[in-house]
C-alpha cells in the first residue's frame, strides 16, 4: 500500500518544477558578458534541441503505442489465465506511465530551451 502512495510524488514534483522554473529564472541577472564565438560554431542550438526532443518524443510515442497494442493482445488472448491477463494490464499501464513521463521530459526541454537558451 505504501508504494501506491509514493507513485504520485515523482510526477507531481516534475510538474511543480516545470511550473515554477520560469519564475525562478526570471529573477536572474543577465548582466554578464559572453565570450566571442569561434569560427565554424553553430550560432543557434535551440532548433537542434527542439528537433531532437520532437524526434525522441515521436520514437517514445511509437514504442508506447506498440506496447499498448502488445498489452491488449496479451489481455485479449489470456483465455481465462489470470497471470497472462494481469501481465497484459501491467504492460498497458506501464506503457501509459512511460508516455506521461516522456511528455514531462518534453515539457522540461521546451521550458529549458525557451527560458535559458533564448
Q: Name the domain count of the chain.
A: 1
* 87 lies in some domain: yes
Q: Is residue 13 part of a domain?
A: yes
Residue 64 falls inside a structural domain: yes
81 is a domain residue: yes
Domain residues for 61? 2-28+44-115
Q: Cα torsion for 80, 85, 87, 92, to the nearest 10°?
A: 160
Q: What is the per-residue pLDDT across 78-92, written as a single tens digit (0 to 9) for each?
A: 988 899 999 999 999
Ramachandran quadrant class, 80 (left: phi over 0; alpha: psi -120 to 50; beta: rest): left
- Residue 39 domain-assigned (yes or no): no
Residue 38 covered by a domain: no
Indicate the angle between helix axes 82-115 and 46-76, nearest 10 degrees: 170
98 lies in some domain = yes
Q: Is residue 111 part of a domain?
A: yes
- Give pLDDT tens digits for 29-83: 556 666 676 666 666 666 777 788 778 888 888 898 899 999 999 999 998 889 9
Question: DSSP state, 79?
Answer: T
Q: 100 and 68 in contact (C-beta within 8 Å)? A: no
Amino acid at each position: 500500500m505504501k508504494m501506491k502512495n509514493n507513485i504520485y510524488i515523482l510526477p507531481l514534483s516534475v510538474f511543480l518544477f516545470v511550473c515554477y522554473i520560469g519564475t525562478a529564472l526570471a529573477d536572474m541577472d543577465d548582466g554578464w558578458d559572453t565570450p566571442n564565438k569561434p569560427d565554424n560554431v553553430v550560432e543557434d542550438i535551440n532548433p537542434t534541441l527542439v528537433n531532437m526532443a520532437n524526434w525522441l518524443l515521436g520514437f517514445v510515442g511509437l514504442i508506447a503505442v506498440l506496447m499498448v497494442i502488445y498489452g491488449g493482445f496479451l489481455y485479449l488472448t489470456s483465455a481465462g489465465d489470470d497471470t497472462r491477463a494481469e501481465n497484459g494490464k501491467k504492460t498497458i499501464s506501464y506503457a501509459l506511465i512511460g508516455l506521461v513521463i516522456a511528455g514531462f521530459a518534453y515539457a522540461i526541454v521546451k521550458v529549458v530551451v525557451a527560458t535559458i537558451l533564448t
